[in-house]
Amino acid sequence: ERQGKRRHVTADSSDRKLELAFPSTSQTSQSKPVPFQQPVSLITFSYTPSRKLEFNNSALRYYVNPPRNANLRHGYERWIKRPEEKGRIDGLLRATSKLRNDMNAGASKGVDWIRSIGVVSWRGVMTKILTAPYEDRDSWEMNVMAIDGTMYFEEHLSDAKLVEKEDMAPHHRLQSYYGYSFESWCGSSKPEMPENLEGQPPGWGGDVDTNVQWCSVVKTKLGDTRMVIGGEVDCVRNAFTGQTSDFVELKTSIAIRGPQDEARFEKKLLKFYFQSFLLGVPEIIVGFRTPSGQLNTIQLFKTAQIPRMVRGKPNAWDPTTCFAWGQQFFAFLKSVIHPSAEPIAEQQGNVTSALRPQVWRVKFEPRVGVSVSLLGDAGVSEIQAGEDRVGFLPRWYWDEVQT
Ligand code: A3P
Ligand code: MG
Ligand code: MG
């Protein structure tokens, strides 16, 4: 039946909702595992306190052991919180553009580099896509555009959802701060322990400013889809040699007191795993804390070993199910968005569509699957929010890839 739906994709699919349900687990286990290539770091960049993107490592932090019993509430009053924003991929496109231009300036090989990439997305979006088969609580929406066979993804956050995120309940806000504070206790701008800051407890790496981020852009491949994925990297071990093998992800979690906590934690490991795995981050350091934010213990998890740790447990999950789903998801989207062998191919000579590319909305419902629909003018202008964009892409990027 699903095949039937796919074949009905035509140029006027705007009034049709295209759906993809999860593959049944038996289907998944019967088929060959979908390979995922080890991510390779292409470039890193930093966001400054004024949220300027710079192609340097000014925001890179080195891992240091946090003090015992560190207070994760420390500095809460001084937290400079980056405002919630729409899930734009502008920063990632800046990096993509730089890579392409650098390649063009060097060898001739770079010219068509972007055309061989099937997917460009932030890591958070990719994590949501791949973990969808096990997500039983949160729905999500994304916007997707395709240029020359490359699909671009952004998370779709409506204005209402943005306001909701910004108006976080005070205890949620504090819990969220614990995670950032842990990063400060574990990070130093030099490879050694941070110097004691005046008036601050020993080991404190500096007040939290969530505008500041260090990001890495990697290339990888799921099945036969090449991908460029960008995301924040919390810190590195010892020295940064340009490889993902130095990367460290930091996490906090409530200390485990019983089987129920343990099951909950194993479920969280799914997100930890994909978040890290997608950027090639080999180590995750988890700070277990009390409900009121006192750090108890830290534990190192090797990313590659996490799937084995949860196998056979009550909340077990299996990454091969996620990869099989991911493969299906991208193939489905491709067939909807640019079904080259389908009647829509006639549309390629259509001037209007060439000038105004289509934006697709992907909606995910827990336990159900995803549906895709074409956005109308009102929907597109809502996501543009008065900015100079083609679809949701910044105009400068659009102009650049036309040449
Ligand atoms: P934890 O990692 O300890 O949960 P990240 O782990 O991705 O590096 O993010 C750092 C911190 O940002 C998280 O710490 C968490 O506190 C906060 N954070 C991330 N995503 C969040 C979300 N959707 N809502 C609230 N806080 C979030
Ligand atoms: Mg982070
Ligand atoms: Mg983290």
Reported as a single tens digit per residue, the pLDDT across 160-180 is 999 999 999 999 999 999 999
Q: What is the pTM of this model?
A: 0.92
Roughly what angle, to the nearest 10 degrees, separates helices 395-402 and 90-106?
A: 30
- DSSP secondary structure letters along 63-97: E-PPPTT-BTTTTGGG-BPPPP--B--HHHHHHHH
Ligand 1: does its nearest atom lie under 6 Å from the Cβ of 360?
A: no
Ligand 1: does its nearest atom lie under 6 Å from the Cβ of 97?
A: no
Residue ranges of the chain whose pLDDT lies below 50: 1-15, 340-354
Residue showing tokens 């597109």: 380
166: helix, strand or coil: helix
Q: Report which protein residue has its CA nearest ligand 1's atom 11.
A: 179
Kindly identify the ligand whose nearest atom is closest to the C-alpha of 172.
1
Strand partners, 295: 289
Q: Report which protein residue has its CA nearest ligand 1's atom 24.
A: 176
Ligand 1 pocket test: which of 140, 166, 176 has the largest number of ligand atoms within 8 Å of its C-beta? 176
Ligand 1: does its nearest atom lie under 6 Å from the Cβ of 13?
A: no
Measured in angstroms, how far is the CA atom of residue 176 from the centroid of ligand 1?
6
Q: How much is the ipTM here?
A: 0.96
328: helix, strand or coil: helix
Measured in angstroms, how far is the CA atom of residue 110 from the centroid of ligand 1?
36
The 10s digit of each residue's pLDDT in 198-234 is: 899 999 999 999 999 999 999 999 999 999 999 999 9
Q: How far apart are the first and last CA of the chain?
A: 41
DSSP letter, residue 38:
P
Element (H, E) at 248: strand 247-254
217: helix, strand or coil: strand
Q: Taking the CA of residue 241 as centre, how many other CA atoms within 13 Å lie in the half-sphere pointing to its CB?
A: 7
DSSP letter, residue 193:
P
Which amino acid would we find at residue 368?
Answer: V
CB 99 within 8 A of CB 116: no
Question: Closest Cα partner for 119 from 273, 352, 338, 304?
Answer: 338
CB 214 within 8 A of CB 63: no
Ligand 1: does its nearest atom lie under 6 Å from the Cβ of 124?
A: no
CB 285 within 8 A of CB 66: no
* Ligand 1 nearest-atom number relative to CA 175: 16
Q: How far is CA 285 from CA 45, 133, 239, 276, 385, in A?
A: 23, 26, 17, 11, 39
pLDDT of residue 7: 36
Question: Beta strand pairing status for 247-254 and 283-289?
Answer: parallel
pLDDT of residue 107: 63
CB 80 within 8 A of CB 209: yes
Ligand 1: does its nearest atom lie under 6 Å from the Cβ of 214?
A: no
Strand partners, 21: 369
